[in-house]
Structure formats: C-alpha cells, structure tokens
Amino acid sequence: MNQVGAVGLIAALVFAIYGMITGAIAGKLRSPRMLKSAQRAVLGFFAMATLAVVSLEYLILTNDFHSAYVASHSSRELPMLYKIPVLWSGQEGSLLFWTWLLSIYVAMAVLLNRRKNRQLMPYIISICMGVATFFSLLTFCVANPFNQLSLATATGVTPYAPPDGNGMNPSLQFHSMVIHPPMLYLGYVGMAIPFAFAMSALMTRQLGDNWIRVTRRWVMVPWMFLGTGIVLGGLWAYHVLGWGGYWAWDPVENASLLPWLAGTAFLHSVMIQEKRGMLKVWNMVLIILTFFLSIFGTFLTRSGIISSVHAFAKSDIGPWFSVFLAIIAAFSLTVLFLRLDFLKTENRLDSIASRESGFLFNNWILLAAVLAVLWGTIFPVVSKAIQDVTVTVGPPFFNKVMIPIGLLLLFLTGAGPLLAWRKTSFQSIKRNFTVPLIFAALVGGILFYVGVHRLYTWMSLFLCAFVAASIVGEFYKGARTRMKTSKENFFSAIYNLTMRNTRRYGGYIVHFGIVLMFVGFAGQAFRFETQGLMGPGDLLQAKDYMFRCESIDTGKKANYQYETASLSVTKDGHSLGVMEPQKRFFIAEQQPLSHVALKSNLARDLYVVMAGTDPDSGKAIIHVIINPLVQWVWIGGMIVLLGTILALIPSRIEREMADLHKSQQEVAEAHHVR
Amino acid sequence: MSVSRLLKILVLSLALVNVAVAAQSPAQIEKDIGDKVYCLCGCVTTLNHCPMLQCAEKEEMRGIIRADLKQGKSEPAILQDLVNRFGEKVLAAPPASGFNLTAWVLPGIGLLIGLLLAMAIVRRWRRPAVQAAAASTAHPVDESVRSAVEEEMKKYID
C-alpha cells in the first residue's frame, strides 16, 4: 500500500502540472478542447490525491510500521477515533491532507461551473493547479509520507518495522482535535478558490458584477470553516492545556486569525462594490491578502519558524514557502497593477454618514487588527534578525494592543447596520441610535452599580448591550413592517423576513454571535483561581464553593495510566456532585497530561485540574479556577456558524437574480461560441 | 452640563475606580508577574499557563518571585531580577525601549495611517460641494419623507 500511495502522489503531481499548463493555454487560446482537458486533469488530480490519502489511512489503520510516518505518529494502542487524525498530526501527513482538500475544492469548482463562468474557468484551473503543484511537490520532495523504514545490514538494506510506533502527541488525543485541524485546513485551503477567481477575472478583464457575486460565496465557505476551526481550537486549548483559558495569542493561533480578519474585511467591503461599484481595487487587495495570509498561516503552523505551543511539526520547509509566498505576491500584484484601468470606481460618496463609510471604517479597523497581530507575531523573528536579541511577544502585548481595536470593531458592528446606504439624515441617526444607546446606558449603569468597574470590561459589556439592541431593533422593525403589510403574525414575519434576505439577516445573526463571544471574553476579568494540596478528607474553598477530596485512585487504560482525584463539590451546603480531575501518563509517548474536570452553566465554569502530586506529602495538587461566562464563547461561536450557514442559503431575491443572470450568460456564451 | 463634559467625567471616574481597585496583595503581584513572564521549560506559554506537570523551571521561577516578594521588592524590581537571570526572552512582552519600541508603536502608527487613508478616500469620493448643493436644491425633499425612504431602502438594499 505504501507503493500505491507513492504512485498516487506522483500521479497527482503530474496531473497538477498538466492542469496548470493546459489551463493557461486554454485561457490564452480560448480553446474549449484544452479547457476540457484541463478539467479532466483536475478530476485526475482529485482521484490521485484521494488514492494517496486512502493509502496512508490504510497504513495507519493496519498499524503498518514499515511506514516511517505511521511508526512516528501512531501506535497499536491508540484508540480508533484517534487513528484517523494521525493523517494530519505530523508534517508529511498534514501537507498531503492540505493537497487532498485542495483537490476537493478545485474539483467542486470545476463541477459547479461546468456551464457557468466559461471564460473565467481556464485561468481558475491554471492558478489552482499551480497551488496544487507547489503542495504536491513539497509533499513529494521534502515531506513524503510514504518513506519506508529500513535497516542497513551486511547483506544490504532490508525493510524494517518496529514492534510498535511512537504514538500520537497526547495533547492531540482529544475529541475536538479530530475536527479542529480539518476545519482550519478547509479554511486555509479554500481561500485558494476566491483568489483564483479574482486573478482570473483580472486576467480575462471580466471585471463586471459576476466574479464578485460568485467569489463572495467562495470566500464565505472557507471563512466559516476557519472561524469554526478557531473556536474549536479554543475549545481544545480550554479542555486540554489546563490553564483555564482558550486563547493565548500564540503564533499559530494568530496565524489562523489573520486570514479570518482579512476575509471578514472582504465580506464587508464586497457589499460596497456590489451596491455602489466602489472599492474595486481594495477588494482585489483584500482577496490577495486573505490568500497570502492563508499560505503564511500554513507556513507558520507547519514550519516551526516561531516557537509555538501548537507547532507539532518542525522541518526545513521554510525556504520553499518563502519562495512560494514571494511568487504569489509578485504574480498577483503584477496582474492587479496591469488591470488598474479596469477597476475605476463607478460612484461617488454622497455623505460621510452612510453605510459606505461605515464599511470603510470597519475595513480600517480590521486591517489595523491584521497589522497588529501580524507585527506582534513576526516581531521575535524581526528582533532576532535586526538586534540579535530573542524577545517574546505574548498576551500582555496583544491584550494591550488588541482590546481597544476589538472594542472599536464591536462599536461599528452595532453602528454600521443603523446607517443607510448613500446618506443617513441626522433625524434618522437620532431615531436609530436612541433606543440602542438608552438600553446600553441602562445596562452600563446596572453593571457599574453591581461592581463592574474595570474600564475595558465595562465598555465591552456596554457595547455588547448596544449592538444586541441594534440587532434586535433591526429584526423588530422589519417584522413590524411585514406584520402591517402582509398581515402575518410576529413569528411568521421574522421567519419570512429572514428567508427573504438571508444574507442581511444571517449577517445580523453572525453579529449577535460575536456579541455573545465578547460577553464571554469580558467574563475573564472576574476569573478566580486557588490551589491546594488534597488527600482523602481534605477541604479546599474557592469563593462560595467547597471541595472535599473523597479519594485518590489509580488505574490503567489501553494507552495511558491515570491517577484520579474524586472531589465532592458543595455550594452553600447544597451538593453539586463529584468532579474527577485526572493526571494521565501516556505509555507509548512517555508523556504526562492533565485531564480537566469541568462543571459548567451559563454563569460560570468550575474548572479543576490535578496539577500533579506533592513529592513530600504524596497529596494531589489541585488547581481550581472559577471562570465566569465562558460558555457564552462557545454558544456565540455556534451562533456565528448558524448565521453564516443562513447567509449562504440563497434568498428568494438572489435566486431570481441568479436565474436572470444565468439566462443572460447563456445568451452571451452562445454569441461567444459563434 | 454638556454631553462631552459628562462623558469626560464618566471616563475619568471609571479610570479612578480602576486605579483604586488595583491596590495589590503579594499573591496578586505573584499572579500578575506570572502573566507577564514566560515559563522557560519550552512550553511556550506564560508562567501561569504552563501546562507541564511538575515543571522544574516553573517552580524555580516561582521560587525566585516569592523570595523577592519576601524581601519586599516591587513588581518592576522582580521583573528586572528575572530579566537579569534569564535574559529579555523571559518577558511575555518586549520592554518599550530601543528597537523593541517599534513593536508597540507600529500598530498605533498603522491605525493612524489607516485612518488618514480612509479619510482621504472619503474626501476623494465625495461629490463636489456645488454639485451636491445643486442636486439638493433641484429636488427639495421633506425630511420626514427622506427618513421614510431611507427606512424602506434599508429593507431592500443590503
């Protein structure tokens, strides 16, 4: 099976190179035959990349330790649930996985555009296959997952298989880790498609409404995956790392945030181009930046150039990525520069108090966030290169810089939708802002009264109230109009309103999810921690909660040994049940890991870690954290996901417009063929 | 009292409350320092967040912080002590001096340049004043009608 996988990988590389060349020729010569050939190359690339992935999974599932990759990242006792993610737990496998996901995206782009966007498709295929060539080449030449172990003996080199593998990194053996990396990768990889659409539109001078409408959806899908991946990563860090937090401004975390922020900026500014024909160059820049940051993120994650708690693989792929990033920047900026004349703005701004300028300032803040995160992330490398001093840029830096930026962004989230396109009159501003501001002031007053005195925390919750009120107001006003005009009841009105314009109301739901996440972030200001040594019968108080150690037990599972402290928890004399934090020792990997015990409700999480055993007393070191409002981060993340899915569903208006456009395009295509 | 003055007083009083709340115990100082320095065991997290069980480096650094606190040293003095022992890399954020100052200043400069750029774009995009005035006098519209139209437009154009 090793050979089959290797053949699949080589064949995928050949198909990628062929598709890149034929796609470019088809674009240049406008040849339908060459386009067909390029499309077949894409499907061939998908089939061969799939063969390589299936082969590697087969080697993993059958414990074939002749494979160097399987021997390094898996073991016999590794549970089946965690055998599948072995594919992306190491450098070689994850690059193959990247290549395979790209093959899925490109194949989908080809299949969904069999009868559409015929002029754009040749260059789209060529560009995507160019990216595929890079990743296939990298996987084949630098990080080949199909290398076999061998022993040099007197009779020559013979294949070798150790009795068992080294196992998987214990911190990766967690349920959200099974889906977190695929989500992130789907986000990173998917940004190649809108990039290819944008470049193709520039190269073919097809810069009308069509490419932007199609591209928006192709950005939204990976943006959704990236966002979901980021939240799942936070969930993993919260449950596995044992420090009671979910975001540490680690370089790899930042790497995933960068394209998400740039993509968010695009999803907002694209509306100005659609409605007003403005910001055309800027949108191109954002698409290029988003794709560039996606590749940069993959580079940071996989190269280990910057120390990170998430850098599970380090290798010498850095120079390859540097060259590839330079090629992307040079190619895309050259194409953009050559087509600047086709990207003239069609309209003028009527007023500063308008939705357009709201989006412009939203883009300003998002790009400032990108710059701040990027600069903080790469500063250790810059410092080492310039002053030969190793510095660390961690949470104190990012919190100081990013909290004000985040609050500004939160304000615009609420204020933007209250502004009308073209021009908003003073009367309208007064009318639209009054209720949300009064509600926010009321909430702010109550918060101050109950003891929320930290400036940023207070401001965050004040703005959350403002944004939430503005969103609810938008739904209410829309529903009230429908109730008057269509005689619908309130719930039907809300439903029909939303389904009539899924993009707008899906967007509001996304905003509401962001608000809930900010509520969760603000809760961190009230975090409480305590620690104590506990043996059977010992007590530990954490605010109103009393923990009593009932027993400390040891045991063994298939792939780890464990020590568990059973702690009964009471509050004001009422039992809240038993919590069982665990210390695990993974046998194959020879690594210890704590398993957090959690009791959650919407107000707070009780977070208990068994940090170790005191060598003198033999008692367990128990660390208790009371984490207020954390659940709102996960709930908010889920609502962002639902809102995005809703925004992806075509609304009735969009479907009608799409039908009209399709018939127009068919007529144009028929002309083109003749 | 003007709205701006009211806002100033509100912000100032919140800042004062913030300062007052910030009076710290030794345990709080130890915790704060734990958020400002990195554990040097290779975990790449702050001292308070080091996930390693029985981490020798974490215990050594905590021992130094506690000993300094017993000697009555202030937070900056303890941080300096840690830098003297382990180098600048122990700090979770670079000190705002020398070349490291650029780490702190550049995001602010970027924000400012972005704002100026956004304002320049807005100015360039705006209709010439004469043209706009002519447009508004050519079609005088009642304010209530304009508001109603805006509301309607928001429903359909988004």
Q: What is the pLDDT of residues A531-548, one digit of tens each?
A: 889 999 999 999 999 999
Q: What is the pLDDT of residues A617-657, one digit of tens each?
A: 888 889 999 999 999 999 999 999 999 999 999 877 667 76
Question: CA-CA distance, A375 to B102, in Å (whole number)?
Answer: 10
Q: Is A7 an interface residue toward B (CB < 8 Å)?
A: no
Instruction: Give yes or no for a contact between A542 and A554, defined as CB atoms under 8 angstroms apart.
Output: no
Residues of A in Cβ contact (< 8 Å) with B19: none
CATH code assigned at B83: 1.10.8
Q: How many Cβ contacts (< 8 angstroms) between chains A and B?
A: 173
Backbone φ, ψ for residue A94 (5° rounding):
-70, -30
How does B91-125 read in b/e, with b if 16+ C-beta sit within 10 Å? bbbbeeeeebebbbebbeebbeebeeebeebbeeb
**3-state DSSP assignment of residue A593:** strand
Q: What is the pLDDT of residues A115-149, one digit of tens each?
A: 888 889 999 999 999 999 999 999 999 889 998 88
- Quickly tell me which residue has 């019968």 as its tokens: A537
Identify whether residues B48 and B104 lie together within a single domain.
Answer: no
Q: Is B66 an interface residue toward A (CB < 8 Å)?
A: no
Question: CA-CA distance, A561 to A563, in Å (whole number)?
Answer: 7
Q: Would you state the pLDDT for residue A305?
A: 64
Q: CB under 8 Å to B131, separation ≥6 — which residues?
A: none
Identify whether residues B44 and B110 lie together within a single domain.
Answer: no
What amino acid is encoded at B53 in this protein? L
In the predicted structure, residue B158 carries a pLDDT above the cut 50: no
Using CB atoms, pick whichever of B54, B106, B122 lies closest to residue A352: B122
Residue ending a domain, choose from B93, B110, B143: B93
pTM as predicted? 0.87
Identify whether residues A536 and A516 lie together within a single domain.
Answer: no
Q: ipTM of this complex > 0.85?
A: no
Backbone φ, ψ for residue B50 (5° rounding):
-55, 120
Identify whether residues B77 and B20 lie together within a single domain.
Answer: yes
The token pair that represents A230 in the structure block: 């980021």
In whole angstroms, how far apart are CA A215 and each of A185, A188, A220, A527?
A: 19, 15, 9, 42
Instruction: Give yes or no for a contact between A366 and A409, defined as CB atoms under 8 angstroms apart.
Output: yes
| Torsion of Cα atoms, A637 then A526 then A622 then A234, to 10° | 20
Q: What is the pLDDT of residues A273-312, one digit of tens each?
A: 888 888 888 899 999 999 999 999 888 877 766 666 555 4
Does residue A189 lie within any of the structural domains? Answer: yes
Least confident of A167-171, A252-256, A269-273: A167-171
Higher per-residue confidence, A234 vs B6: A234
Q: Would you state the pLDDT for residue B138?
A: 45
Q: How many angstroms separate the CA of residue A618 from the nearest CA in chain B?
A: 13
Residues of A in Cβ contact (< 8 Å) with B89: 390-392
Does residue A659 lie within any of the structural domains? Answer: no
CA-closest candidate to residue A535, choices A599, A594, A625, A610: A610
CA-closest candidate to residue B115, choices A358, A374, A368: A368
Mean pLDDT calculated for residue range A405-415: 93
Identify whether residues A463 and A449 lie together within a single domain.
Answer: yes
Band (B157; pLDDT cuts 50, 70, 90) = very low
Identify whether residues B88 and B118 lie together within a single domain.
Answer: no
Identify whether residues A445 and A386 lie together within a single domain.
Answer: no
Identify whether residues B82 and B108 lie together within a single domain.
Answer: no
Q: Is B154 an interface residue toward A (CB < 8 Å)?
A: yes
Strand A597-600: give its sheet, edge to edge: A528-534, A620-628, A604-613, A597-600
Does residue A129 lie within any of the structural domains? Answer: yes
Q: Is A454 an interface residue toward B (CB < 8 Å)?
A: yes
- The boundaries of the domain holding residue A29 are 1-168
Identify whether residues A294 and A382 lie together within a single domain.
Answer: yes
Identify whether residues A468 and A583 lie together within a single domain.
Answer: no
Best probe of the B interface among A267, A289, A397, by most B CBs < 10 A, is A397
Best probe of the A interface among B125, B143, B144, by most A CBs < 10 A, is B125
Identify whether residues B89 and B109 lie together within a single domain.
Answer: no
Q: What is the pLDDT of residues A462-480, one digit of tens each?
A: 999 999 999 999 999 999 9
Identify whether residues B30 and B49 lie together within a single domain.
Answer: yes
Please name the residue ranges forming H helices in A142-250.
175-190, 192-204, 209-240
Identify whether residues B88 and B105 lie together within a single domain.
Answer: no
Q: How many angstroms separate the CA of residue B8 from the nearest CA in chain A?
A: 13
Instruction: Give yes or no for a contact between A256 and A229, defined as CB atoms under 8 angstroms apart.
Output: yes
Does residue A593 lie within any of the structural domains? Answer: yes
Identify whether residues A508 and A583 lie together within a single domain.
Answer: no
Q: Is A383 an interface residue toward B (CB < 8 Å)?
A: yes
Q: How many angstroms separate the CA of residue B72 from the nearest CA in chain A?
A: 23
Cβ separation of B103 and A393 shorter than 8 Å? yes
Residue A409 half-sphere exposure toward CB, CA atoms < 13 A: 22
The token pair that represents A494 in the structure block: 């809300």
The token pair that represents A351 in the structure block: 């007023």
Does residue A151 lie within any of the structural domains? Answer: yes
Question: CA-CA distance, A606 to A543, in Å (whole number)?
Answer: 11
Identify whether residues B47 and B105 lie together within a single domain.
Answer: no
Q: Is A352 an interface residue toward B (CB < 8 Å)?
A: yes
Instruction: Give yes or no for a contact between A325 and A231, defined as CB atoms under 8 angstroms apart.
Output: no
Band (B146; pLDDT cuts 50, 70, 90) = low
On the 0-12 / 13-18 / 19+ scale of CB atoms within 10 A, A272 is: buried
Q: How many angstroms separate the CA of residue A585 from the nearest CA in chain B?
A: 11
Question: CA-CA distance, A628 to A528, in Å (whole number)?
Answer: 9
In the predicted structure, residue A69 carries a pLDDT above the cut 50: yes
In whole angstroms, how far apart are CA A330 and each of A162, A322, A324, B20?
A: 47, 12, 10, 54
The token pair that represents A26 in the structure block: 């088809």
Instruction: Give yes or no for a contact between B100 and B82, defined as CB atoms under 8 angstroms apart.
Output: no
Residues 394-453 of chain A whose Cβ lies under 8 A from any Cβ of chain B:
394-397, 400-401, 405, 420-425, 427-428, 431, 448, 453
Identify whether residues A399 and A457 lie together within a single domain.
Answer: no
Best probe of the B interface among A428, A470, A510, A524, by most B CBs < 10 A, is A428
Q: Would you state the pLDDT for residue A319?
A: 85
Identify the bridge partners of residue A622 per DSSP, sorted by sequence position.
A532, A610
Residues 278-307 of chain A whose Cβ lies under 8 A from any Cβ of chain B:
278, 307
Q: Domain tally for chain B?
A: 2
**3-state DSSP assignment of residue A279:** coil
Task: Report the phi/psi class of residue A553: left, alpha or beta, with left for phi > 0 and alpha for psi in -120 to 50.
Answer: beta
Residues of A in Cβ contact (< 8 Å) with B8: none
Best probe of the B interface among A283, A379, A454, by most B CBs < 10 A, is A379
Residue ending a domain, choose from A138, A168, A198: A168
In the predicted structure, residue A585 carries a pLDDT above the cut 90: no
Q: Is B122 an interface residue toward A (CB < 8 Å)?
A: yes
Question: CA-CA distance, B80 to A428, in Å (whole number)?
Answer: 55
Residue ending a domain, choose from B56, B75, B93: B93
Does residue A654 lie within any of the structural domains? Answer: no
B33: enclosing H helix or E strand? helix B26-36
Identify whether residues A320 and A201 lie together within a single domain.
Answer: yes
What's the per-residue H, E or C state across A194-225? HHHHHHHHHHHCCCCHHHHHHHHHHHHHHHHH
Q: Is B121 an interface residue toward A (CB < 8 Å)?
A: yes
Q: How many angstroms separate the CA of residue B33 from the nearest CA in chain A?
A: 11
Identify whether residues A388 and A288 lie together within a single domain.
Answer: yes
Q: What is the pLDDT of residues A423-440, one digit of tens each?
A: 777 888 888 899 999 999
What average pLDDT is seen over chain A? Answer: 89
Identify whether residues A410 and A372 lie together within a single domain.
Answer: no
Residue of chain B whose alpha carbon sits nearest to that of A458? B14
Identify whether residues B105 and B82 lie together within a single domain.
Answer: no
Residues of B in Cβ contact (< 8 Å) with A428: 146-147, 150-151
- Quickly tell me which residue has 């009209």 as its tokens: A660
In order, the DSSP letters of A598-649 are EEE-SSEEEEEEEEEE-TTT--EEEEEEEEETTHHHHHHHHHHHHHHHHHHS
- The boundaries of the domain holding residue B116 are 100-156
Residue ending a domain, choose from A405, A426, A444: A405
Identify whether residues A118 and A184 lie together within a single domain.
Answer: no
Q: What is the pLDDT of residues B1-41, one digit of tens each?
A: 555 665 566 556 555 545 444 556 888 888 889 989 998 88
Residue ending a domain, choose from B40, B75, B93: B93
Q: What is the pLDDT of residues A373-397, one digit of tens each?
A: 999 999 988 998 888 888 889 888 9
Q: Domain tally for chain A?
A: 4
Residues of A in Cβ contact (< 8 Å) with B46: 248, 394-395
Backbone φ, ψ for residue A40 (5° rounding):
-65, -35
What amino acid is encoded at A674 in this protein? R
Identify whether residues B60 and B86 lie together within a single domain.
Answer: yes
Identify whether residues A378 and A305 lie together within a single domain.
Answer: yes
Residues of B in Cβ contact (< 8 Å) with A481: 155
Q: Is A390 an interface residue toward B (CB < 8 Å)?
A: yes
Using CB atoms, pick whichever of B53, B121, B144 lies closest to residue A612: B53
Identify whether residues B38 and B86 lie together within a single domain.
Answer: yes
Instruction: Give yes or no for a contact between A260 and A230, defined as CB atoms under 8 angstroms apart.
Output: yes
How does A108-134 read in b/e, with b if 16+ C-beta sit within 10 Å? bbbeebeebbbbbbbbbbbbbbbbbbb
